[in-house]
Structure 1
Amino acid sequence: MAQVLEFKLPDLGEGLTEAEIVRWLVEVGDVVAIDQPVVEVETAKAMVEVPCPYGGVVTARFGDEGAELPVGAPLLTVAVGSPVESAGGGADADSGTDSGSGNVLVGYGTGAPPVRRRRVRPEGLKAAVAVSVAPVEAAAPAPTPEPAPALGPVAVVSPLVRRLARQHDLDLRRLAGSGPDGLILRADVESAIRSAAEAPVPEPAASSSPAGERVALRGVRGAVADKLSRSRREIPDATCWVDADATELMAVRAAMNGAAGAGAPKVSVLALLARICTAALARYPELNSTVDQEAREIVRLPQVHLGFAAQTDRGLVVPVVRDAHARTTESIGAEIARLTEAARTGALTPAELTGGTFTLNNYGVFGVDGSTPIINHPEAAMLGVGRIVPKPWVHEGELAVRQVVQLSLTFDHRVCDGGTAGGFLRYVADCVEQPALLLRSV
């Protein structure tokens, strides 16, 4: 007799409490193996493929693509046990006899080889799940009740959802949540908001909401919005900037790439600037720190975990190069290339997006000269780099056309004063203008 086991959305780490279903990787009737990815979800940190700890036949899925689920909510049910083998047959169904790995994240599994998805015939599926319990069906959103609201607290998945309802004058007591035990999810609130917006407005009354397209701040964009807002609230930031002659830096880059030979990875400008940043942070460690507001202490960090801003279709993300202070320029460049490709495909893990101590932002790729970067909370500084363009420049006492770049440093004024920030920025500019200076610091 098969046993139907329920797999719930696991804790994905980093304090995340919910995730949005992006794409189902299995359908009802598919045979799955232990640790086989069954759904792709998006959290506020990254895209994650969630593996199932059971092997057997999928009997139900919970939630449509685009729905948000809290941690602990049912994801799917799987019929496990010997009937799975008889229903599917063959080696592909052998894993159905296992009790499950208990693993929840890709990369932390038992190493069992993945199996190809295979649909079980309806009659085979029926035999496989002929258990002594009622069939499990996917949960459907409950209709919105109309009776007068009851008094008392309302179970809501997060304070952000409660705030969203308050901003739209939505009475949560009139909603029936689609989450476990009637928990009100963000999708429930957004659905009610849309329904209210689509309802006809009697004349002469007019809608109090501003006209225009509304884009929900959720997932990565929502996380970025919250982090930037927190940075502006908590960090007394200041910005200084300087123009630098990058002609010699570009010549050094060309020489390095020429010496590497055909087919070798090219050294990027970003990698060179990252290496300069690690040298500058060694001289000015105040900027590689964070502030413990409750303890009223500055915490200077021993390692440099260098973040770099990357624009993707899902929004701005900041992958982190671990231990950048211990890497060569080539090593930093290779890691930046790997993380950039992972960002482009949405494959960055939460661990690759957290833990940074200093951020490098090359907004010059957008064709702009300068900016005032917002610090990536809870870090203490960010270096912004504009485009490198030919400009008139006084070189060795004469006017010449040189490759010029604007460098901007935004820093937390609690960790240092302007003299330290100016010293850091001047050292970076000096290394850009005379890359040989960097050799004296290694």
Structure 2
Amino acid sequence: MIEKFKTNAEVIENGDKYLYGNHVRMPLSIERGEGAYVFDKDGNKYLDFIGGIAVNGLGHCHPAIVKCLEERSKTILHCSNYFYNEPAVQTAKLIVENSCFDKVLFANSGAEANEGQIKLARKYAKDHGHPERFVVITMKNSFHGRTLATCTATGQYAVHRYFEPLPSGFRYAEFNNLQSVKDIMDEYVCAILTEPVQGEGGVRPASQEFLQGLRDLCDEKGILLMFDEVQVGSGRTGKLFAHQNYGVEPDTCSMAKALGSGVPIGAVCARGEAAKTLTPGTHGSTFAGGPLACALAATTLDVMINDGVIENSRKMGEYFRDQMHKVIEKNHPDAVNEIRGLGLIDGIQLNKPSGQPVVDLCFKDSKVLINNTNGNVLRFVPPLIVNEEEIDIVIKAVDEAMTKLGW
């Protein structure tokens, strides 16, 4: 019989005993969720502006997702890619019809989707008469995953340092600095990979000039432009894809996180010749594109596109930044360097070594969940269904925490 734990403390105690210690966890065991809120075993209610790290786009236990899970559990959960399944086709069709892409290749996570992009880029170069091209240029302070290749693609030494020697074939340029990309461009480069908005790198949106410059450079060199939209896709920025805010079309783009509303799924979206590159035998997966994950993805996309969720992300993001600016300028002008974001991925860069004290006080005093990234950036990635009242609660919590800290 599976043992049931009675209290928050009991779950944490057993978790520390049995779970591998590769994650730093808050002292909170989440029992259930509803909308933008989560609850622990002791009945405490928390406003969730972490959203499973940008996964719970529709919030917790959205009725359409619950219904989809119930119906899918009575049909089939897995059948492998030896066969077609309707949810995979439905999901791919929804993505293609609402984007610039022609084909969708499914994966099981964001890291796998980015691995797929890297493999695609290398094969594309060979298919087009350039076997010498194997290098992918990525950006400093980027984040692309935890597998060995995507860890190497990530432009952060902190992610690299324990796993050297790393795979070859990656170079790092300065984000939002087109000249730095050109400076490391040569005949061995097969693609450029970047996030339109750096998430783990401190919530840093790309400039229009940078993304357009990358597109022009890739066209000039005959190489692929690849976007990582694992965190910022699926409606997060007020568009289905973040790059749609810029009008710059990549050759390939990864998706994951919010696509499955909590069930792991990733995708590589491709257009043109890039959509013809990965042929049978060159890439695949046992679980990718399965009927369970894809049924949830199709439902998620349908709700986001047709029920105003993406537009709400745009409006609430503007409201968050506008209201936060007013509070910071009035009460904490010297503590904050910049407030930035796009849609409902927002960051406050502090003039302090770390934002963790604010995170801790929001959790302890206000039962508000936010997180700290890239050292001193408070990150807010709530469900896309949040409203003004919930945003006001978070702003008040941050304001009170900074006041208590004397900031």
Is this a same-fold pair by TM over 0.5?
no
The structure with the larger Rg is 1
TM-score (normalised: structure 1): 0.20
In terms of fraction of residues, the more strand-rich structure is 1
TM-score (normalised: structure 2): 0.21
In terms of fraction of residues, the more helix-rich structure is 2
Task: Report which structure shows greater RCO (CA 8 Å, sep ≥6).
Answer: 2
